[in-house]
Amino acid sequence: MTTLAIIGAGRAAAVHAESSRAVAGVQLIGIGGRAPGRAREAAAALGCEELSVAEMIGRADMLIVAVPPAEVAGVLAQIPPDRPMIVESPVGVNSRCDPGDRPNTMLGANLLHAPIARQGLAAINDLGEPHHLVLRATAPRPLWHTPPAARSGAMLDLGGRLLPVLLAAAAQPVVEVSASLNLQDGVDTGADLDLRIAGRRSVRAKLHSDEGPTSANLEAASGSAVVSVDLWPFPVLEVDGDEIASAEGQEPLHALGFVSQMRRLAAVAAGRAAVWPELSSGLGALRIIEAAELSARSGRVQRLG
C-alpha cells in the first residue's frame, strides 16, 4: 500500500483526495495545512487524520502540495527533494527551486492526463505547424486573488494551470512575450498574451476572470483542418466542426485527468514510471507570466533567453 498525504485544505486538496480513492493501492492517511485545525472538518469528511506538515512529510510515501501560490516555496523547503509528489498549479511566484533538484516532483497539470485532451493534442500535432493556435479561458476570481498576496490574478491562476497545455500544443519553446492586462484593485482580471515561438510563429492566450461559468478551449488551424478542444467543464474534441469525442456524462475526476494523474504519481513512487510533466514545465509557465507582466507594464516585447 502506498500512503498519500495532502498539504492543503481547499478545493484542490479535496479533488486530489477523492481521486486517490479511485486508484488501487493508494491510501490517503492525512490532510492538513500550515494552520492547525483548519483541515479538521475536511479530514473527518474524507475519513483520514488532520496532520501537520511535518507529520505528513514523516509518514507519507508521496505528497500533494495544494496550497496558495505564495505558500508553495515555504512548503517545498521542508520536503526532502527526492520525495514523490505533485505540486499543484500555479506553482507560485516565490518558488525558485531548481527542477533538477527534485527528480520525483510532478507538476499538477491534470488536463495533460485527460484522455480526450491528450487525443486533442495529438490531433493538433498532426496539423504540423498550425497558423492559428489560441487558448481561451474564463473563470471566477479565486479567493486568493487578494492584494498583496497575489501578483497576477487571472494570468497566474488560469495561466499557471493552462499554459502547460498550450505549450504542449505549440511543441516549441517560447522566445518572446508581449501582453496587455485589465487591472482591478491591483489584480488583473484579464490578460491577452502573444507568445512568439521558435520559427517566429505566434500563439495566443486570452485569460479572463468574471462571474460566469468556468470554461477553457484550445483551437488550432492549418490549411487542411481546424481542431477545437474544449478543456472545461468537460473535454470535447472537434475536427472541422465534427465532434470526434466527448467526456459529457463521464465521471469528472476521470474525464479531467485527475485519476490518471494520481495513478502516474503512484507509479513514480513505486519506481515504475518517470515523472511527467516535470516541475520545470510549471516554472516555464511562470517565466512566461513574469515576462507578460513586464511587457504589460513597459509596453515592450520581452525576450526569454
Tens of pLDDT, residue by residue over 107-127, are 999 999 999 999 999 999 999
Query: Within the chain, what is the greatest distance between any pair of CA atoms?
Result: 57
Quote the radius of gyration of the chain (alpha carbons, Å).
Answer: 19
Backbone angles phi, psi at 203, to 5 degrees: -120, 155
pLDDT at 34 over 90: no
Note if the pTM is more than 0.85.
Answer: yes
SS3 state of residue 280: helix
pLDDT of residue 210: 77
Tell me the helix, strand and coil percentages in the chain, rounded to 5: 35, 30, 35
Residue in 191, 218, 143 with CA at minimum distance from that of residue 289: 191
User: Can you say whether residue 91 is alpha, beta or left, with left for phi > 0 and alpha for psi between -120 and 50 degrees?
Assistant: alpha
Cβ(295)–Cβ(301) below 8 Å = yes
Sequence-separated (6 or more) residues with CB below 8 Å from residue 300: 178, 294
> What's the pLDDT tens digit per position in 122-173?
999 999 889 999 999 998 876 554 554 445 578 888 898 899 999 999 999 9
Strands 226-232 and 26-32: unpaired
Local structure of 276: helix, strand or coil: coil
* pLDDT (0 to 100) of residue 149: 43
Does the pLDDT at position 9 exceed 90?
A: no
Q: What is the CATH number of domain 2-109+259-276?
A: 3.40.50.720
Residue carrying C-alpha cell 527551486: 97
What pLDDT, on a 0 to 100 scale, did the predictor assign at position 193?
97
Q: Report the C-alpha gap between 69 and 160 in whole angstroms.
A: 10
Q: Cell 497539470 maps to which residue?
A: 109
Residue the block writes with cell 490518471: 260
Set of cell numbers at residue 47: 475519513
The DSSP 8-state label assigned to residue 200 in this structure reads S
Instruction: Note the pLDDT tens digit of each residue in 51-101.
Output: 999 999 999 999 999 988 878 888 998 999 999 999 998 887 554 566 668
> Which residue has cell 504540423?
128
Q: Hey, what CATH topology would domain 112-250+285-303 get?
A: Dihydrodipicolinate Reductase; domain 2 (3.30.360)
The residue to which cell 469528472 is assigned: 252
The b/e string for 267-295 (b: 16+ C-beta within 10 A; e otherwise) is bbbeeeeebebbbebbbbbbebbbbbbeb
d(CA 181, CA 225): 31
Give the helix/strand (H/E) hosting 45: helix 40-46
Domain residue extents for the chain: 2-109+259-276, 112-250+285-303
Q: Which residue has the cell 475536427?
A: 239
Q: Provide the sign of the torsion angle of the four alpha carbons 143, 147, 149, 151, taken in this order.
A: positive
Q: Which residue do the cell numbers 495533460 mark?
A: 112
Q: What is the pLDDT of residues 270-287, one digit of tens each?
A: 999 999 999 888 888 989
